[in-house]
Chain A
Amino acid sequence: MSADFDSRESSAGPLGRIRGRFEGPNTLGNSTPFWVAFALAVVGLAAYPQFVGLYSVLTSTKYFALAFLALSLTLVWGYCGVLSFGQVAFFGIAAYAFGVIGVNFSSAGGITAAVVGAVVAGTLFALVLGYFMFYGGVSDVYVTIITLVVALVLNTFMAQTAGSEWAVGEAQLGGFNGMPDVPDLVIGIGETNVGLGDIVPLYYALLVSLVVTYLALRVLVNSRFGMTMVAVREDEQRTATFGYDIAFVKLVAFTIGGALAAVGGVFYAAWGNYVDPTVFGIQFAALPVVWASVGGRESLLGTVGATLVIERMRTGLTEGVGPLGPEWAFVIIGGLLISIIVLLPSGVAPSLDRIGKRLLDRLGDRSSSRPTEEPVE
């Protein structure tokens, strides 16, 4: 496979070299048709607000915020082999931190500082937790358990912050009722700022951030560090034998994952102007695992796609399906998760990728004007 990429890099000129950075053995979709389809999908999403009502735009914006959470788990679990059930911990910490700082400093500069502070808080928490786990030699299952327990403990903790003594400056934590009045997103200082409180501007801001993040992650997972992460996932001991510092690689991946989840948390809190302890609850914690498992945890785009589709489905389920009321949503989601794990362990995206490649091969054979993209397996 890699010979294929090398030859392209040397032959295709500057544009090909740039494209080469986004492609590699660690991502699905390394063909020209893929990039054309990707560009069309982005254009489609950009045009979406022109064709639907504000409510649809609003809910789609939430799905984008959640997609960051999905990407964070894909990076940590799919690429580095560390199954974290606690990505929501970093998401929720950032959401609360954004609320607390934003409520206390409501100027443009204050809210920009809140964004930075919240992402730093989520990332630092991941760094400290990851340090204890990976440098303590905690092995895979225990990492999963610890991360889940951390999320559930935060859930218990935030749920009991109802009293007036649980306040940071002006911001009441509010226990079960959560924190209302989380400010809108504003980037800038003083007069030179961009307010992203309205529905449509926020939609575009999140869409652009998501596309940029996706492309950046493609570069990351196909870089030297990305190769090392995948090596750790595939065989930890062998990678260690080659002289790589396993704990360090895992810690870096886990911290980047924490940062991504934190970004999602900020967007989520700013989107709804609200955050409550359910962001740390077991049902919410299950969602990223569902998205990643269904979409294909080793595929960045598959996870994002699954997030959008499953969350759209959940929104639909709140009105009920046929005779089943909204309370069936989690039965259906859980059932979907179990079936995918048992029947299609690698998720939907890799299967779609195989079908796509087979179609391309067949087209190539028929016209026989271009060589096949992939070596025949």
Chain B
Amino acid sequence: MAAATVYDGLSLLFQFLNSFGFLVLVTVGLAIVFGMMGVINLAHGEFILVGIYGTALAYHAGAPLPLAMVAGVVVTTVFGIVVERLIVRHLYDRLLDSMVATWGLSLVVAQLLLIVFGSSLDSISTPMGNVAYGPYTSSVYRSVFLPAAALVVLGGLFLLFTRTEFGVKARATIEDPETARAMGVDTDRMYVTTFAIGSALAGLTGALYAPAIGAITPDRGSTFLVESFVAVVVGGSSVVVGTLSASTLLGLVNAVFSWQLGTFVGLMAMLLVAIVLLRLLPNGISGYVEDWRERRRADQ
């Protein structure tokens, strides 16, 4: 009896780690571009798809998996830079227009992938095998490696934006582009670089999930989009705090509900929590944290 409870607990824990890792990774690229540049990239799901396709194509062409993943990231980064130069560049300060244009882009990319590569690519088998305990098994790659990778990514971003000269300049550009320009910051370059980082992270997500999503189809973009959007909405505009808190909370909700009741109920529960939270905290969790900090500063 006690052993069964332990196994159930472990199963729930792995389920949580699984969805936590997924939420962090699909969200972080979107959160950077939104939080730092005020642009919502509705083609974010398709950016992840580009990463998946890059990885899968390189892998099927004979490259070892780690190298194929690097290829996926590189392809997506280059794609992101091209998109920024051709489209997004014209749409800074036009938030709603940026959403509409990137939505158009998502249609084009998904359809082009369908036309060029057909309705699906062969899947890549998940590395690292399974761990079995009691009546359950969990994939080590999905439940241990990916959540760990997610934490490494968040830590790296935190250091990048707080400890490097690039981070200081990027935050200055976000805070006040006019003054940043007057101080000699090349804001145009900052925007391209930030968008490239966002794209690279989408590519990384695609590369990491290429061996974990089963059949690779061109219509998967919108499923990534929904989960990343919900997390960004709940998290608010601060990248690290928002992504971490939202992914923890939503991952927990998702794990508890989908553990026994299936993935659809898990998704529904996440959305309900998101809508209720928005009613209470319209600027997301990080907006609330910010308010609280400011109030404390004002009190002192």
Q: Which residues of A contact B (CB under 8 A)?
A: 77, 83, 85, 132-133, 136-142, 144-146, 148-149, 152-153, 156-157, 160, 282-283, 286, 289-290, 293, 327-328, 330-331, 333-338, 341-342, 345
CA separation between A158 and B279, bound complex, in Å? 26
- Of the candidate stretches B140-148, B225-233, B243-251, the one touching chain A is B225-233
Question: A136: which B residues are within 8 A, CB to CB?
Answer: 278-280, 282
Return the CB mask of B87-123 against A: 1 if under 8 Å, else 0: 1001100111101110111111011101100000000
Question: B107: which A residues are within 8 A, CB to CB?
Answer: 282-283, 286, 330-331, 333-334, 337
State how many angstroms separate the Cβ of A150 from the closest Cβ of chain B.
Answer: 8
Question: B268: which A residues are within 8 A, CB to CB?
Answer: 153
Q: Are A153 and B267 in contact (CB under 8 A)?
A: yes
State how many angstroms separate the Cβ of A286 from the closest Cβ of chain B.
Answer: 6
Q: Are A152 and B226 in contact (CB under 8 A)?
A: yes
Q: Which residues of B contact A (CB under 8 A)?
A: 34, 40, 42, 87, 90-91, 94-97, 99-101, 103-108, 110-112, 114-115, 222, 225-226, 229-230, 232-233, 264, 267-268, 271, 275, 278-280, 282-283
Number of A-B pairs whose CB atoms are under 8 Å? 114
Q: Are B114 and A327 in contact (CB under 8 A)?
A: yes
Q: Are A83 and B99 in contact (CB under 8 A)?
A: yes
Question: B222: which A residues are within 8 A, CB to CB?
Answer: 152, 282
State how many angstroms separate the Cβ of B26 from the closest Cβ of chain A.
Answer: 14
Q: List 26 A-B contacts (CB under 8 A).
A: A132-B275, A136-B278, A136-B279, A137-B282, A140-B95, A140-B96, A144-B96, A145-B233, A146-B233, A149-B230, A152-B226, A153-B268, A153-B271, A286-B104, A327-B114, A328-B111, A328-B115, A330-B107, A330-B110, A330-B111, A331-B107, A334-B107, A335-B108, A337-B104, A338-B101, A345-B94
Q: Are A327 and B279 in contact (CB under 8 A)?
A: no
Question: B97: which A residues are within 8 A, CB to CB?
Answer: 341, 345
CA separation between A338 and B42, bound complex, in Å? 12
Q: Are A290 and B104 in contact (CB under 8 A)?
A: yes
CA separation between A327 and B118, bound complex, in Å? 11
Q: Are A334 and B115 in contact (CB under 8 A)?
A: no
State how many angstroms separate the Cβ of B290 from the closest Cβ of chain A.
Answer: 15
Question: A156: which B residues are within 8 A, CB to CB?
Answer: 264, 267
Q: Is the interface of B mostly helix, strand, loop or mixed?
A: helix
Q: Are A149 and B229 in contact (CB under 8 A)?
A: yes
Q: Are A138 and B111 in contact (CB under 8 A)?
A: no
Q: Are B101 and A337 in contact (CB under 8 A)?
A: yes
**Cβ-defined partner of A338 (8 Å) among B40, B105, B229, B280:** B105
Closest residue of B by beta carbon distance from A327: B115
CA separation between A290 and B103, bound complex, in Å? 10
Q: Are B233 and A341 in contact (CB under 8 A)?
A: no
State how many angstroms separate the Cβ of A330 from the closest Cβ of chain B.
Answer: 4
Question: B112: which A residues are within 8 A, CB to CB?
Answer: 331
15 extra interface residue pairs, beta carbon distance < 8 Å, beyond A145-B232, A283-B107, A337-B104: A83-B96, A133-B278, A138-B278, A138-B282, A142-B282, A144-B96, A146-B233, A153-B267, A156-B267, A327-B111, A328-B111, A338-B105, A342-B87, A342-B90, A342-B101
**Cβ-defined partner of A141 (8 Å) among B99, B101, B103:** B99
Q: Are A342 and B99 in contact (CB under 8 A)?
A: no
State how many angstroms separate the Cβ of A114 from the closest Cβ of chain B.
Answer: 27
Closest residue of B by beta carbon distance from A144: B99
Q: Are A149 and B226 in contact (CB under 8 A)?
A: yes
State how many angstroms separate the Cβ of B79 from the closest Cβ of chain A.
Answer: 15
Question: B114: which A residues are within 8 A, CB to CB?
Answer: 327
CA separation between A331 and B111, bound complex, in Å? 6
Question: A139: which B residues are within 8 A, CB to CB?
Answer: 282-283
Question: A145: which B residues are within 8 A, CB to CB?
Answer: 40, 229, 232-233
CA separation between A324 and B197, bound complex, in Å? 35
User: If A149-B226, A289-B100 touch, does A160 touch B264 (CB 8 Å cutoff)?
Assistant: yes
Question: A341: which B residues are within 8 A, CB to CB?
Answer: 91, 97, 100-101, 104
A-B interface, 10 closest residue pairs, ranked by CB to CB distance from nearest: A337-B104, A334-B107, A334-B108, A136-B279, A137-B282, A341-B101, A338-B104, A334-B104, A330-B111, A282-B222
State how many angstroms separate the Cβ of B46 from the closest Cβ of chain A.
Answer: 11
State how many angstroms separate the Cβ of B69 from the closest Cβ of chain A.
Answer: 27
CA separation between A289 and B99, bound complex, in Å? 11
Q: Are B233 and A142 in contact (CB under 8 A)?
A: yes
